[in-house]
Amino acid sequence: MKLRIGLGFDSHAFEEGKPLKLGGLLIDFPKGLRGHSDGDALLHAITDALLGAIGEPDIGELFSDKDPRWKGVSSEVFLNEALRRAKEKGYKILNIDCVIVADEPKIAPHKEAIKESLSRLLDLPKDSISIKGKSQEGFCKEEGLACFCTILLIHEG
């Protein structure tokens, strides 16, 4: 049995007038996340965890914010490419464990909906997905949020 672990991280500042997406889910909040794509920091962290676990280039190398093709694109595009690469190498996700660090919005009211969205996007049972919300406790001065994700893969070959 061949297992691989990956760690992903992403953070973005808030931006007025932009929708907030986390884990492919629209969250009711007056600010979104600044970014070249849709700014979904959770999907970016999951994508980087997946790419790292299979030894591929990171999200910034594959989908540069200097490349106009990725301007405003859904982060699901990035995740789907990472999933394609993992499948091509014979890997399947066993579980993911994610932490969203933000003072606002509060994550607890959205955890189940985020898990449902990720379950659909990753084709993974909800009990294989962990989402935790943590406050910044004064750590960051700029308003925004950060996401950390670990992923465990098994080789199916």
pLDDT tens-digit series, residues 64-85: 888 888 887 899 999 999 999 9
Tell me: is residue 40 an annotated ligand-binding position: no
Q: Are 29 and 104 in contact (CB under 8 A)?
A: yes
Q: What is the DSSP letter of 108?
A: G
Report domain 3-155's class.
Answer: alpha beta
Task: Answer for the pair 47, 138: CB distance below 8 angstroms, yes or no.
Answer: no
Strands 91-101 and 129-134: parallel
The annotation status of 59 as a binding-site residue, yes or no, is yes
60 is in an annotated binding site: yes
Per residue in 15-27, pLDDT (tens digit) is 999 999 999 999 9
Whole-number pLDDT of residue 140: 60
Q: Tell me the percentage of the chain whose pLDDT exceeds 70.
A: 97
Residue 44 is labelled as binding a ligand: yes
Q: Is 48 annotated as a binding residue?
A: no
Q: Write down the domain spans for the chain.
A: 3-155
pTM of the prediction? 0.95
